[in-house]
Chains A and B, each alone.
Chain A
Amino acid sequence: MKRLLILTTALSGLAIPAAAQQVTVMGWGGAYTASQVEAYHKPFTAKTGISVVSVDADNPATPIKAQVEAKNVTIDVASVEIADAVRLCDEGLVEMIDVADLPAAPDGTPAADDFIAGTLSDCMIPTDVFSTVIAYDASKFPDGGPKTIADFFDTTKFPGKRGMKKGAKVSLEMALMADGVPAGAVYAMLETPEGVDRAFAKLSTIKADAVWWEAGAQPPQLLADGEVVMTMAWNGRIFNAAMENNKPFEIMWDGQVFEWEGWVIPKGAPNLEAAMEFVKFSTSTEPLAAAANFISYGPPRQSSGPLVGTFKNEGKVPMGPHLPTTAANLTNALASSLDFWADRDIELSERFNAWLASN
């Protein structure tokens, strides 16, 4: 036993210098991590010689909390959603990252101005933007599908069932935008009781035609079954269904509500310096654009947009039109407000549940 202990101690002693040349990155797995490996991990190792170990978790925010509190941190960089990032930052579980340290865009625009306004926060550097959009089956609309978010709520012009996310978040924002509130004024309006009433009144207009979904996999299925003619959906799921199952699904970007995710560095990361290098490299203009070739989540840097190529670099499907961040898709778009939902989630969810359950 004692010998074994000495041996393992010696081995772990040996392991430390070797570990200095590597960085452990925790992702979400699946196609999402695959896109990051291609766009970030491989080029980073090629450039710096620092190897990247990729590990997966259902939601990397969960192990971060556990590891930091147990003071046994093995992750250097983790991919988390913005809501979790802010919470982790508030609780002091992740490092602050100074935006001034990030590389500028190729044309010299500082990083702080290059990232889409509102996406930067104290502890997280965004890697991609995903969005809740309206998707429809083009074959159901021979004369042209919905063009604006108001069309989604217009069952006389576009008859048929609507797939809706069973939750207050995003539903209320879309209802107000459909009611004519400009994207910039949505959250100010929702702060007032009249604004909330107005949003629920708008939702009530299509309540009888709504089919509610909870899991992200449901909307493509509802569309495929012909159960709904249009639905709120996450843009990546619709893109995948269209590409991989050849479904005639289209995305209407008007009134999209987008969120973002990105890198955090847990407090006490074993390879802090390498982790910072990795974050700086992977969130520079070119890698962010490269990642968007593998998954339809948009690069958060404006300078990345023009560099985005085709799906899997195969030269067939240009990715630009399928990304939430492409300029043409951002004309009437809303950035989901974290502060608003941190404050109002309970109250509005309760009201939403009451509204939903009443007949």
Chain B
Amino acid sequence: MADITTSDTPGLTTADGRPLKSALAHAQARAKRRAFFLVLPLLAFVLITFVLPIGQMLFRSVHHDGFSSNMPALSAWFSENPRGTVPGEPAFAALAADLDQARINKSAGEIGTRINYDLPGTRSLFTSTARNADRLVAPYKDSMLAVNAQWDDARLWETMRGASSAITPNFYLSALDLQRAPDGSIERVPPENRVYLMLFERTFLLSAIIMGLTLILGYPVAHLLAVLPLRTSNLLMILVLLPFWTSLLVRTTSWIVLLQSQGVVNSTLVATGILTDETRIQMIYNQAGTIIAMTHILLPFMILPLYSVMRPIPPSYVRAARSLGASSWCAFRRIYFPQTIPGIAAGALLVFILAVGYYITPALVGGASGQLISNLIAFHMAKSNWSLAAAIAAILLAAVLVLYWLYDRLIGIDNLKLG
């Protein structure tokens, strides 16, 4: 207050004698607060339904305390002894004590599950040893090896060391087809178990193909809608929007009815003699099925932004170009097309990002070769391996953000028109 009254304009005051500047600031602050309260519900909504779950997902992808919280003594041993220490009697004593506690707490399943993520085939090692852990006696190393010789496995100890801290990068390693060797270094998983990188690649490739197809199919339609008289174009617009109002599942299963090998399309081709019963084309339960169904389902997301950009383009520009001697191709390429780029950019970005995360359609019509990475995220969710699902999802999110950044650098995000 004091500095305001001593500022350059001490003379200006309000009717009740307060300095104008502070009164104004006061009133504006109140308006701002009120405005803030108006957006508060939305802010809270976004925080609770968007930021919080994504934050939780990112946290889960690097955090799993199934082992560390249930095996305190052994975790302490790991933190005191550096990597490379041969586990001796104290380590086995800690292990036996923790397993006995796990027997009482009934937490052996949880511990085993965590280790099993990184070293398959070990869950029952933990549950069966813990079941009789009260019978383990000193010397614990001999006693435990007598129960199961696998307790001496270097790979098992390396895995337990990795799991002894709740924060772990291992789920990201799994999601990138990598694993830890017994000495702690990182190596690729055996070729027959590699799946994620290939699926990431396929997801982006198929999404790009679907994006291209929707553009090729959607551009002329949007143009037609934009140049027709409003009454006709509104009618046609309903046809574009109609699939929007139909359930996704209904649309996907209709494609099954149409495209399956005993379906409408194949049967018609056989009836007209183009195909025979032996040469029916497999158009579904493979990559083709995924591409066809997803192109159809995502088409409106391309047409709508294109239409909203094309509608306000005055037809006189192209007419002017033609009257100045441009060929129809030249007029399109140099006059019309550049003006539709914001629509293309918006539609392409929208379709691509939606396609990258698509789940239900590939699951239903994709068969084996049309599966996308989202199907594996769903798979791991169903198997309760949430951390791995979160790690794959986080990589997908990061990849999309990188593409978004590239897009911004190449085309510019302000050059985007969504309608």
Which residues does A use to contact B, with CB under 8 Å? 87, 90-92, 161, 200, 207, 210-212, 214, 225-227, 339, 342-351, 353-359
- In the bound complex, what is the Cα–Cα distance between A164 and B249 (angstroms)? 22
Decide if B368 is an interface residue (CB 8 Å cutoff).
yes
Contacts A225-B262, A343-B123 given: A92-B106 contact, CB under 8 Å? yes
Give the Cβ gap from A212 to chain B, nearest Cβ, in Å: 6
Decide if B194 is an interface residue (CB 8 Å cutoff).
yes
Task: Find out whether the CB atom of B376 lies under 8 angstroms from the CB atom of A353.
Answer: yes
Decide if B124 is an interface residue (CB 8 Å cutoff).
yes
Give the Cβ gap from B369 to chain A, nearest Cβ, in Å: 6
10 tightest Cβ-Cβ pairs between the two chains A and B = A347-B120, A92-B106, A354-B195, A90-B109, A226-B262, A356-B368, A343-B124, A343-B123, A343-B121, A353-B195
- In the bound complex, what is the Cα–Cα distance between A87 and B260 (angstroms)? 40
- In the bound complex, what is the Cα–Cα distance between A227 and B264 (angstroms)? 12
Residues of B within 8 A of A225 (CB): 260, 262-263
Proximity bits, B253-288, A CB within 8 Å = 1, else 0: 000000011110000000000000000000001000
Proximity bits, B174-199, A CB within 8 Å = 1, else 0: 00000000000000000011110011
Decide if B383 is an interface residue (CB 8 Å cutoff).
yes
Task: Find out whether the CB atom of A211 lies under 8 angstroms from the CB atom of B367.
Answer: yes
Residues of B within 8 A of A344 (CB): 120-121
Give the Cβ gap from B278 to chain A, nearest Cβ, in Å: 10
Residues of A within 8 A of B143 (CB): none
Contacts A87-B109, A214-B363 given: A346-B368 contact, CB under 8 Å? no
- In the bound complex, what is the Cα–Cα distance between A358 and B109 (angstroms)? 33
Seed contacts A200-B192, A227-B261, A354-B198; 9 additional CB < 8 Å A-B pairs: A161-B261, A211-B285, A211-B367, A212-B285, A227-B260, A343-B122, A349-B379, A353-B195, A355-B192
- In the bound complex, what is the Cα–Cα distance between A225 and B263 (angstroms)? 8
Decide if B117 is an interface residue (CB 8 Å cutoff).
yes
Give the Cβ gap from A73 to chain B, nearest Cβ, in Å: 17
Give the Cβ gap from A102 to chain B, nearest Cβ, in Å: 23
Task: Find out whether the CB atom of A357 lies under 8 angstroms from the CB atom of B371.
Answer: yes
Decide if B5 is an interface residue (CB 8 Å cutoff).
no
Beta-carbon nearest neighbor of B174 in chain A: A350
Task: Find out whether the CB atom of B108 lies under 8 angstroms from the CB atom of A90.
Answer: yes
Proximity bits, B104-135, A CB within 8 Å = 1, else 0: 01111110000011001111100100000000
Beta-carbon nearest neighbor of A197 in chain B: B192
- In the bound complex, what is the Cα–Cα distance between A207 and B368 (angstroms)? 9
Residues of B within 8 A of A353 (CB): 195, 376, 379
Residues of B within 8 A of A349 (CB): 379, 383
Residues of A within 8 A of B371 (CB): 356-357
Task: Find out whether the CB atom of A346 lies under 8 angstroms from the CB atom of B385.
Answer: yes
Residues of B within 8 A of A87 (CB): 109
Task: Find out whether the CB atom of B262 lies under 8 angstroms from the CB atom of A347.
Answer: no
Task: Find out whether the CB atom of B120 lies under 8 angstroms from the CB atom of A357.
Answer: no
Q: Main secondary structure on chain A at its contact with chain B? A: helix
A-B contact pairs, 11 of them (CB 8 A): A161-B261, A207-B368, A212-B367, A227-B260, A346-B383, A347-B121, A349-B379, A350-B193, A354-B192, A355-B192, A357-B199
Residues of B within 8 A of A226 (CB): 262
Give the Cβ gap from B226 to chain A, nearest Cβ, in Å: 41
Q: Which of A90, A349, A356 has the most CB of B within 10 A?
A: A90
Residues of B within 8 A of A354 (CB): 192-195, 198
Contacts A354-B195, A355-B192, A356-B371 given: A346-B109 contact, CB under 8 Å? no
Task: Find out whether the CB atom of A346 lies under 8 angstroms from the CB atom of B195.
Answer: no
Task: Find out whether the CB atom of B120 lies under 8 angstroms from the CB atom of A90.
Answer: no
Contacts A91-B106, A207-B368, A212-B368 given: A358-B198 contact, CB under 8 Å? yes
Residues of A within 8 A of B192 (CB): 200, 351, 354-355
Residues of B within 8 A of A342 (CB): 123-124, 127
Give the Cβ gap from A175 to chain B, nearest Cβ, in Å: 15
Residues of A within 8 A of B376 (CB): 353
Task: Find out whether the CB atom of A357 lies under 8 angstroms from the CB atom of B379.
Answer: no
Residues of A within 8 A of B105 (CB): 92
Residues of A within 8 A of B106 (CB): 90-92
Which chain B residues in 354-381 approach chain A with CB under 8 Å? 363, 367-369, 371, 376, 379
Residues of B within 8 A of A91 (CB): 106-107, 109-110
Give the Cβ gap from A86 to chain B, nearest Cβ, in Å: 9
Which chain B residues in 77-122 approach chain A with CB under 8 Å? 105-110, 116-117, 120-122
Residues of A within 8 A of B127 (CB): 90, 342
Beta-carbon nearest neighbor of B287 in chain A: A359
Task: Find out whether the CB atom of B193 lies under 8 angstroms from the CB atom of A351.
Answer: yes
Residues of B within 8 A of A347 (CB): 120-121, 193
Residues of A within 8 A of B107 (CB): 91
- In the bound complex, what is the Cα–Cα distance between A225 and B262 (angstroms)? 7
Task: Find out whether the CB atom of A346 lies under 8 angstroms from the CB atom of B117.
Answer: yes
Contacts A212-B367, A343-B121, A350-B195 given: A227-B262 contact, CB under 8 Å? yes
Residues of B within 8 A of A359 (CB): 369
Residues of A within 8 A of B285 (CB): 211-212
